Amino acid sequence: MSEGKNVDHFVGAHDLSVRDHLEVQKIVQRHIDNAVSKTINIPASASLEDMALAWLEYLPFLKGTTFYREKTRGYVNADGIVELPPLSALDLMSAKSLFNHEHEVCAALVVDCPSGACVA
């Protein structure tokens, strides 16, 4: 970004399927002696059976994997009310939009503009 190059070809974690994440980890692990650990965000709608099948398929090739099921970080408070998690993941477009907004707000203070979008 600091060189003004287009980064639209980058994808976020939510843009990849679980199998895509596992395949990336498998390829990287093949070239690393130590364990490569990866957290994979899975949709709340994913079934346990589907996750087990995907993970068991890749298990012989991996050394460390963590699955995080979205919307499971909430908790029940002392009154028995389910509280929402304090943070939630952003999709790639929202993250880019937030970055651009924050960057434009600070543009007057920034000497070097990584995105090239904050020309005064």
Please indicate, yes or no, whether residues 70 and 24 belong to a single structural domain of this protein. Answer: yes
- Is residue 54, in this structure, part of any structural domain at all? yes
- Residue 6 burial (C-beta neighbours within 10 Å; 0-12, 13-18, 19+): exposed
- Is residue 4, in this structure, part of any structural domain at all? no
Query: What pTM was estimated for this model as a whole?
Result: 0.56
Please indicate, yes or no, whether residues 97 and 63 belong to a single structural domain of this protein. Answer: no
Q: Which domain holds residue 41?
A: 13-87
Above 60 in pLDDT, residue 20?
Answer: yes
- Is residue 60, in this structure, part of any structural domain at all? yes
Higher pLDDT, 36 or 82: 36
| pLDDT tens for each residue of 41-95 | 888 888 888 888 888 999 999 988 888 887 777 777 888 887 776 666 677 888 8
Higher pLDDT, 72 or 25: 25
Please indicate, yes or no, whether residues 107 and 78 belong to a single structural domain of this protein. Answer: no
Tell me whether strands 82-83 and 75-76 are parallel, antiparallel or unpaired.
antiparallel
Q: Based on the structure, what is the number of domains in the chain?
A: 2
Above 50 in pLDDT, residue 114?
Answer: yes
**Is there a contact between 8 and 100 (Cβ–Cβ < 8 Å)?**
no
Please indicate, yes or no, whether residues 19 and 42 belong to a single structural domain of this protein. Answer: yes
Please indicate, yes or no, whether residues 23 and 53 belong to a single structural domain of this protein. Answer: yes
Please indicate, yes or no, whether residues 77 and 22 belong to a single structural domain of this protein. Answer: yes
Q: Other CB atoms closer than 10 Å to residue 109's CB: what's the count? A: 7
Torsion sign across C-alpha atoms 54, 8, 28, 70: negative
